[in-house]
Amino acid sequence: MPTSVLIHGAGSSGRYWHRVAPLLEVAGHRVVAPDLPAEDDDADLTAYVDAVLADVDAGGSLDPPVVVVGQSLGGFTAPLVADELGADLLVILAGMVPRPGERGVDWWTATGWEAAVRTAAREGGRDPEDLDTAALVLAGVPHELLVELGPERAQSMTPLLEPWPLTTWPDVPTRVVAAADDRFFPLDFQRRVAADRLGLDVVEVPGGHLPAVTHPEAVAAWLLELCREVAVRA
């Protein structure tokens, strides 16, 4: 039974994946979607990794192929988990791609995030001065799905204040999946970051910054396809 380890982003929970997980399970995957200790100011990236590994261990055997997926801020945790597990595939979904030693608080300036968001807004006919994070993240999510998702959790800055600990990207096949209408991490921005930092193109799915909520079928289909590719290579 393939294993999908799904890691949520900032201020969220494992419930972020609640519409994707059943689709993967129907396809025969064991799904692990833990809650990270987002609200705990004592929890650093090591604690985040430990929380994921504890849920993985609690579920029993870890059967290949093992796919680790990180969404948004989960892009800082997912490579660490993939490295620990010796994963077969690492997927960054609408997510951050860190460099060795880079702090999360520095990532935004280092990637040129603000200029990219302003450019995308201008090209989309929106106000480039409006950098309301919540509005950018939640754009395109119907109210009923927000209610279904539940309240946003507080997000501690602790994991953003420490250098990313790996000295190189893990030796795990990696794919970057970007959302076509993401206002928070615009598509062109994701393409540039993936190319600059990983030398990769992106896979494109529909939706905004929360595609697993708004377009679970498309996200699940791509994850299953990527998993099949790994299985064929093995």
Percent of the chain with pLDDT over 90: 91
pLDDT digits (tens, 9 = 90+) for 69-118: 999 999 999 999 999 999 999 999 999 999 999 999 999 999 999 999 99
Percent of the chain with pLDDT over 70: 98
Evaluate if residue 8 carries a pLDDT over 60. Answer: yes
Q: Are 104 and 161 in contact (CB under 8 A)?
A: yes
**Closest of 102, 96, 50 to residue 71, by C-alpha:** 96
**Closest of 27, 71, 48, 66 to residue 176, by C-alpha:** 71
pLDDT digits (tens, 9 = 90+) for 166-214: 999 999 999 999 999 999 999 999 999 999 999 999 999 999 999 999 9
Query: Across the chain, what does the average pLDDT equal?
Result: 95
What class, spelled out in words, does domain 3-233 have in CATH? alpha beta
Helix (H) / strand (E) containing 134:
helix 133-138
Q: Is the dihedral of CA 233, 89, 95, 101 positive or negative?
A: negative
Categorize the per-residue pLDDT at 58 as very low, low, confident or very high, splitting at 50, 70 and 90: confident
Evaluate if residue 233 carries a pLDDT over 80. Answer: no
